[in-house]
């Protein structure tokens, strides 16, 4: 399957990538499975064409994705090098990429591929398709249109991206076309078992204990159904858990019947707080709107932000919204 309205842009992107010697690929800060999966899948075709690619993300990629090939090559800086092409993926708001176009790259072709609602997007070529499930789904169609062979590793990267942005195929963006794409990726050797195993496995005994503490401390606001909890730096030290091992906890918080949406606030070493927001389809809450209040972004059912505000101020700000 291809998307005819995107054929011209897909061909233009392929020509730019094929003619490059050095490329920069970036995704948003606090990356998720879709940003990382689409980045790594695209990286494969660059490597196959002997293109030197730099993979950039301001924050460390989720550890539950460390089974994906080239995960370890993702860097939190990219230097002041001259690039032939820059690709920005899945970001929603360009500021979330952390990219600053230096003078040597001010005229470098910039490609945006995203499925978030049109916001602050930049690029000489922009593909923004909110009706599609994920940026990884768009990359899949890009490969199809340009007859790019998808090997088993690329297929697994795309499966991971689609899996995480459809909530494990539970969200309403799991369309017939998505399931057809999944079937094709499986036929090419994509390892969905590996994706699901890493998505749901318990990280460690200490992680389970930290999860228990969060659920024990959980508070629910009766006026808007917000379930929230805070993890501070001393909690990480007490339980022997790293800051990057909180993925999935906000999902558990949202399962509580009284909760319409959940917010896990995690204190970073810098003193800032990172917020992870989650909801469920039938609860009819768009958590991306809440993330936007704090300069973040994401999707209707999963979003995030980082802020200098204290937890009390964050909760009060949300409380004042008409949700």
Q: Are residues 157 and 295 in the same domain?
A: no
Residue pair 287/298 in contact by the 8 Å Cβ criterion: yes
Q: Are residues 92 and 194 in the same domain?
A: yes
Q: State the Cα–Cα distance between residues 293 and 51, nearest whole angstrom.
A: 39
Reference 228, options 267, 200, 190, 265; nearest CA is 265
3-class secondary-structure state, position 305: strand
Q: Are residues 16 and 104 in the same domain?
A: yes
Q: State the Cα–Cα distance between residues 71 and 74, nearest whole angstrom.
A: 6
* Last residue in a domain, options 170, 199, 228: 199
Q: Are residues 190 and 297 in the same domain?
A: no
What is the pTM for the complete model shown? 0.87
- Tell whether the torsion through CA atoms of 192, 171, 5 and 22 is positive or negative: negative
Helix (H) / strand (E) containing 54 = strand 52-56
Reference 252, options 222, 284, 221, 229; nearest CA is 229
Report the chain's C-alpha Rg in angstroms: 19
**What is residue 251's predicted lDDT score, i.e. its pLDDT?**
87
Q: Are residues 58 and 104 in the same domain?
A: yes
Structure letter (DSSP) for residue 93: B
Q: Are residues 119 and 228 in the same domain?
A: no
In order along its 323 residues, the chain shows pLDDT tens digits of: 778 899 999 999 999 999 999 999 999 998 999 999 999 999 999 999 999 999 999 999 988 899 999 999 999 999 878 999 999 999 999 999 999 877 677 789 999 999 998 678 999 999 999 999 999 999 999 999 999 999 999 999 999 999 999 999 988 899 999 999 999 999 999 999 999 998 877 667 888 899 999 999 999 999 999 999 999 999 999 999 888 778 789 988 998 889 999 999 999 999 999 999 999 988 989 999 999 999 988 888 999 999 999 999 999 999 999 87
What residues contact residue 212 under an 8 Å CB cut-off, 6+ apart?
Answer: none
Q: Are residues 259 and 279 in the same domain?
A: yes
Q: Are residues 214 and 146 in the same domain?
A: no
**What is residue 103's predicted lDDT score, i.e. its pLDDT?**
67
What CATH number is attached to the domain comprising 125?
Answer: 3.90.1640.10
Reference 24, options 79, 72, 106, 85; nearest CA is 85
Q: Are residues 50 and 111 in the same domain?
A: yes
Any long-range contacts for 291-296 (C-beta under 8 Å, 24+ apart)?
293/317, 293/318, 293/321, 296/96
> Domain range spanning residue 39?
4-199
* Last residue in a domain, options 149, 168, 199: 199
Q: Are residues 190 and 223 in the same domain?
A: no
Residue pair 227/261 in contact by the 8 Å Cβ criterion: yes
Q: State the Cα–Cα distance between residues 226 and 261, nearest whole angstrom.
A: 5
Residue pair 261/226 in contact by the 8 Å Cβ criterion: yes
Residue pair 138/115 in contact by the 8 Å Cβ criterion: yes
**What is residue 202's predicted lDDT score, i.e. its pLDDT?**
63
Q: State the Cα–Cα distance between residues 218 and 230, nearest whole angstrom.
A: 8
Residue pair 220/256 in contact by the 8 Å Cβ criterion: yes
What CATH number is attached to the domain comprising 243?
Answer: 3.10.310.30
The domain total for the chain is 2
* Last residue in a domain, options 199, 231, 255: 199
Q: Are residues 290 and 166 in the same domain?
A: no
Q: Are residues 188 and 115 in the same domain?
A: yes
């Amino acid at each position: 399957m291809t998307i005819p309205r995107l054929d011209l842009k897909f061909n233009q992107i392929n020509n730019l990538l094929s003619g490059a010697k050095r490329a920069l690929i970036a995704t948003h800060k606090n990356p998720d499975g879709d940003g990382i999966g689409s980045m790594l899948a695209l990286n494969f075709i660059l490597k196959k064409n002997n293109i030197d690619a730099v993979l950039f993300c301001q924050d460390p990629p989720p550890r539950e994705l460390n089974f994906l090939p080239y995960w370890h090559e993702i860097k939190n800086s990219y230097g002041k090098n001259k690039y032939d092409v820059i690709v920005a993926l899945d970001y929603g708001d360009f500021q979330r990429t952390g990219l600053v176009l230096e003078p040597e790259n001010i005229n470098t072709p910039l490609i945006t591929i995203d499925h978030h609602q049109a916001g602050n997007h930049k690029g000489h070529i922009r593909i923004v398709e909110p009706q599609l499930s994920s940026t990884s789904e768009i990359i899949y169609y890009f490969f199809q249109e340009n007859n790019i062979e998808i090997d088993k590793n690329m297929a697994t990267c795309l499966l991971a991206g689609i899996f995480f942005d459809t909530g494990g195929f539970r969200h309403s963006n799991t369309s017939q076309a998505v399931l057809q794409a999944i079937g094709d990726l499986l036929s090419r050797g994509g390892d969905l078992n590996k994706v699901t195993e890493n998505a749901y496995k318990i990280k460690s005994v200490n992680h389970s204990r930290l999860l228990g503490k969060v659920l024990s401390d959980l508070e629910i606001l009766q006026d808007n159904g917000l379930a929230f909890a805070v993890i501070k730096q001393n909690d990480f030290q007490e339980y022997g858990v790293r800051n990057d091992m909180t993925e999935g906890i906000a999902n558990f918080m949202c399962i509580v019947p009284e909760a319409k949406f959940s917010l896990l606030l995690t204190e970073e070493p810098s003193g800032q707080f990172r917020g992870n927001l989650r909801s469920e389809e039938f609860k009819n809450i768009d958590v991306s709107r809440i993330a936007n209040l704090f300069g973040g972004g994401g999707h209707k059912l999963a979003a995030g932000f980082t802020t200098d505000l204290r937890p009390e101020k964050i909760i009060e700000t949300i409380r004042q919204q008409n949700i």
